[in-house]
């Protein structure tokens, strides 16, 4: 029996799936810096700067803007467990995997779940949201801005207005949009928002930036019951990230370094330039796909720039194509989930992975594999 496991030796890949995206070397180097105490004065300064960068990224003045220790799903759970009390009516837009996941969490919190559905591949219709809001007093509306399972971008402004007219809170999933598409938390009056580091921010998976606005913070203060999750309780977490610096759990110090550097890279590029890059590379991909007779599942006006759901041509072997792209080109793309399994390939152009070179590599490799399969 050998005494030790073999050394780590992962093959470098071109990551063009639904996440994680490729991580710039600068971020990995930042993560290799010395680990210091989570209450070290140096670390406290890093936390303050990180919060300022997160506020600029979310385009918000919200004080309560912090990274949650956990992946994007922990961000989702944080927003919902802190706002929902048993019996609260929650209207959730469901048009893919992540609306389903939100619905599951609502039920686990003891909320009254009201689903507003759309076909997978289409955006949620604001009229349906209005109907659901008319039928009962609602605590919150939960909606996915960028549905990674279908490649659909959800317009938010009309839904935000309807939600606030009904006196409810708007909770938005921006895991696949933040850093790739405009996300304007204050302008769109989003009350609670979450994201993840591993998609358009191009930092490894492990942190979930969140932001709570005034109305959401007030709802948190008004709770009659304790937040059911100890780890994700924002009333305690804000005492660590705020002036008190009160110990809650040990912050994942080196992950925070990684996010810090990823946000610095984003600020150097500039948000507008970054969005334009994501849009241009998406458009180049769509044109190239058209050239080889392929198209996206969502309508052009509802298509994400960061995640492209490509319809699989009839006769192509879904799994075999993905396997050959990985084995012969070191290129990862994603398969379809749920009703879209075997119907779409999910091609991510997120953050550091959204480049012209990657678009051309994917188009060339796909055409080659389809011809030679
Ligand atoms: C990836 C993703 C999540 C979950 O993030 P994890 O990092 O996998 O926990 C949630 N919502 C959306 C829209 C996502 O794309």
In sequence order, which residues have a C-beta less than 8 Å from that of residue 372 and are 6 or more positions away?
Answer: none
- Whether residue 367 contacts residue 331, with contact meaning beta carbons closer than 8 Å, is answered with no
Closest-CA residue, ligand 1 atom 5, reads 72
Q: How many domains does the chain have?
A: 2
Q: Could you tell me if 300 and 322 lie in one domain?
A: yes
Q: Could you tell me if 213 and 278 lie in one domain?
A: no
Question: Quick one: average pLDDT of 182-188?
Answer: 98
Beta strand pairing call for 146-147 and 152-153: antiparallel
Q: Could you tell me if 210 and 356 lie in one domain?
A: no
Look at residue 362 in the predicted model and tell me its pLDDT.
98
Q: Could you tell me if 141 and 228 lie in one domain?
A: yes
Q: Could you tell me if 185 and 304 lie in one domain?
A: no
Residues 191-200 have pLDDT tens digits of 999 999 999 9
| pLDDT at position 68 over 80 | yes
Residue 44 domain-assigned (yes or no): yes
Q: Could you tell me if 73 and 138 lie in one domain?
A: yes
Look at residue 3 in the predicted model and tell me its pLDDT.
85
Residues 96-121 have pLDDT tens digits of 999 999 999 999 999 999 999 999 99
126 lines ligand 1 (CB under 6 A): no
Look at residue 1 in the predicted model and tell me its pLDDT.
62
Q: Could you tell me if 263 and 324 lie in one domain?
A: no
Question: Quick one: average pLDDT of 289-318?
Answer: 97
Residue 289 domain-assigned (yes or no): yes
Taking the centre of ligand 1 as the mean of its atom positions, its distance from the CA of residue 146, in whole angstroms, is 10
Taking the centre of ligand 1 as the mean of its atom positions, its distance from the CA of residue 245, in whole angstroms, is 29
Look at residue 285 in the predicted model and tell me its pLDDT.
98
Q: Which of 17, 18, 19 to mutate to test the pocket of ligand 1 (most atoms within 8 A of CB)?
A: 19
Q: Could you tell me if 227 and 285 lie in one domain?
A: no
205 lines ligand 1 (CB under 6 A): yes
73 lines ligand 1 (CB under 6 A): yes
336 lines ligand 1 (CB under 6 A): no
Residues 144-156 have pLDDT tens digits of 999 999 999 999 9
Nearest ligand 1 atom to alpha carbon 196: 7
Q: Could you tell me if 295 and 309 lie in one domain?
A: yes
Domain that holds residue 274: 14-18+270-372
Residue 2 domain-assigned (yes or no): no
DSSP string, 223-270: -SS--S-STT-HHHHHHHHSTT---SS---HHHHHHHHHHHHHHHHH-
Residues 305-330 have pLDDT tens digits of 999 999 999 999 999 999 999 999 99
Closest-CA residue, ligand 1 atom 6, reads 72
Q: Could you tell me if 263 and 275 lie in one domain?
A: no
- Nearest-angstrom CA–CA distance, 135 and 125: 16
128 lines ligand 1 (CB under 6 A): no
Look at residue 373 in the predicted model and tell me its pLDDT.
83
- Nearest-angstrom CA–CA distance, 61 and 269: 21
**Strands in 161-224 per DSSP E:** 169-173, 192-194, 207-212
Q: How far is CA 87 from each of CA 113, 137, 333, 366, rounded to the nearest angstrom? A: 9, 11, 41, 50
Taking the centre of ligand 1 as the mean of its atom positions, its distance from the CA of residue 70, in whole angstroms, is 11
CATH of the domain at 123: 3.40.640.10
Residue 234 domain-assigned (yes or no): yes
Residue 154 domain-assigned (yes or no): yes
Q: Could you tell me if 262 and 278 lie in one domain?
A: no
Question: Which of 267, 298, 325 is where one domain is finished?
Answer: 267
Q: Could you tell me if 88 and 183 lie in one domain?
A: yes
Question: Which of 267, 293, 308 is where one domain is finished?
Answer: 267
Question: Which of 209, 240, 267 is where one domain is finished?
Answer: 267
| pLDDT at position 263 over 90 | yes
Phi-psi label, residue 270: left if phi above 0, alpha if psi -120 to 50, beta otherwise: left
Q: Report which of 40, 34, 31, 146 is spatially closest to residue 93, judged by C-alpha positions.
A: 146
Beta strand pairing call for 344-348 and 334-335: antiparallel
């Amino acid at each position: 029996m050998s005494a030790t496991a073999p050394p780590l030796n992962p093959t470098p890949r071109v990551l063009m799936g639904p996440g994680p995206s490729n991580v710039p070397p600068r971020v990995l180097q930042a993560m290799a810096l010395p680990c210091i105490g989570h209450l070290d004065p140096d670390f406290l300064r890093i936390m303050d700067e990180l919060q300022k960068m997160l506020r600029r990224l979310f385009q918000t003045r919200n004080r309560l803007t912090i990274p949650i220790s956990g992946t994007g799903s922990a961000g989702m759970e944080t927003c919902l467990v802190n706002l929902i009390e048993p019996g609260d009516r929650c209207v959730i837009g469901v048009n893919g995997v992540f609306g389903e996941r939100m619905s599951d969490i609502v039920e686990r919190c003891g909320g009254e779940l009201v689903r507003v559905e759309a076909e997978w591949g289409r955006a949620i219709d604001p009229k349906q949201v209005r109907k659901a809001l008319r039928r009962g007093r609602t605590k919150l509306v939960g909606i996915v801005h960028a549905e990674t399972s279908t490649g659909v971008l959800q317009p938010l402004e009309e839904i935000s207005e309807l939600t606030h007219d009904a006196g409810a809170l708007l909770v938005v999933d921006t895991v696949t949009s933040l850093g790739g598409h405009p996300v304007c938390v204050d302008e769109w009056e989003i009350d609670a928002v979450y994201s993840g580091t591993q998609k358009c921010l191009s930092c490894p998976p492990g942190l979930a930036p969140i932001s709570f606005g005034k109305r959401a913070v007030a709802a948190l203060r008004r709770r009659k019951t304790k937040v059911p999750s100890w780890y994700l309780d924002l009333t305690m977490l804000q005492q660590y990230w705020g002036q008190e610096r009160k110990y809650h759990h040990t912050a994942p110090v080196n992950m925070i370094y990684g996010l810090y550097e990823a946000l610095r890279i984003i600020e150097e590029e500039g948000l507008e330039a970054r969005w334009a890059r994501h849009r241009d590379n998406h458009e180049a991909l769509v044109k190239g796909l058209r050239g080889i007779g392929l198209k996206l599942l969502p309508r052009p006006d509802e298509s994400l720039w960061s995640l492209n759901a490509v319809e699989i041509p009839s006769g192509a072997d879904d799994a075999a194509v993905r396997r050959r792209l990985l084995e012969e080109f070191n290129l990862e793309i994603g398969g379809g989930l749920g009703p879209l399994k075997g119907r779409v390939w999910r091609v991510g152009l997120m953050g550091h992975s959204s480049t012209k070179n990657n678009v051309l590599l994917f188009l060339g490799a796909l055409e080659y594999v389809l011809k030679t399969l």
